Amino acid sequence: MTTATDSSPMLEADRLALRIGARWLCCEFSLRLAAGQCLVLLGPNGAGKTTLLHTLAGLREPTVGAVRLGGRPYMGWDSAAAARFRGLLPQQQPDFFSASVLETALVGRHPHLGRWGWEGPQDEAIARAALAELGLADMATRDILTLSGGERQRVAIAALLTQAPELFLLDEPTNHLDLRYQVAVLELFARLARAGRGVVMVLHDINLAARFADQVILLDGRGGVVAGARDEVLRAGLLSQAFDHPIRRIDGDRRAIFIPE
């Protein structure tokens, strides 16, 4: 079984570039994400944030360059080991069959079970703890087909917590969530990062990126990309160019705030 080495970055992109058809989503850039860090992908609609996230998750090959997970290319990982090391929260949660909230959360334990294994009491305890973390402890027996969009999103996040990866890859984790749960979910992943996990997430809110990111990758939708430390990337000029709208930065006592002109 392949595992990461303690000295390796959790995630690396080496001179990565992506193209779909004749369109380049991003030119070459490199990154290194260490344990304890949060990386945010920003950019306008259609810029390629989800495609980039899926490439970092090993779901598609880069057009140019390489992606390494825990110091190794994805082809060097056993699929189950990779699923235990990194977990992906997709943007949409399609539900084709009826299932309880607890059963849905327990799907996250599959990488930890043998081919013919069944979830045991410890797996259920992990799932219930994850549901409690998301305010869903009293909804374990609810059918997921009866949930609101925000409730279903929290169940998906609970399933990812149940998977217990070292690296979280999150596509719009605040999707469908009200203000309270947007902040609560991002604070949750910030705590996990401080505890030594890695976090990569797609966000649309520049101010949330300013609050939670250590690193930022900014896509402009025209192939341009800026990657680096948060304060190097979150500059009014770069953001205005990427979003094709004037954006003003106001430096407060604790953090910068960005507003459209």
Element (H, E) at 128: helix 121-133
Q: Give pLDDT, residue 6.
A: 58
d(CA 9, CA 151): 34
Check residue 171 and give left, alpha or beta (phi > 0: left; psi -120 to 50: alpha): beta
The letter for the amino acid at 79 is S
d(CA 81, CA 235): 39
Nearest to 163 by CA among 190, 197, 135: 197
Torsion on CA atoms 244, 246, 250, 251, rounded to nearest 10 = 40
Instruction: Show the tokens assigned to 3.
Output: 């595992």
Whether 86 has a pLDDT exceeding 50, the answer reads: yes
Task: With 0.85 as the threshold, say if the pTM is over it.
Answer: yes
What confidence score (pLDDT) does residue 228 get?
A: 95
Beta bridge pairs of residue 100: 143
Grade residue 3 by pLDDT with cuts at 50, 70 and 90: low
Which tokens in the block code for residue 227?
A: 């990657």
How confident is the model at residue 134, as a pLDDT?
A: 97
Give the chain's mean pLDDT. 94
Separation of alpha carbons 33 and 194, rounded Å:
13
Angstrom distance (rounded) from CA 232 to CA 11? 20
pLDDT band at 5 (very low <50, low <70, confident <90, very high): low
Condensed to tens digits (0 to 9), the pLDDT of residues 148-176 reads 999 999 999 999 999 999 999 999 999 99
26 backbone dihedrals φ, ψ, rounded to 5°: -155, 145
Rg (CA), the chain: 19
Q: What does the pLDDT look like over 34-68, one tens digit per residue?
A: 999 999 999 999 999 999 999 999 999 999 999 99
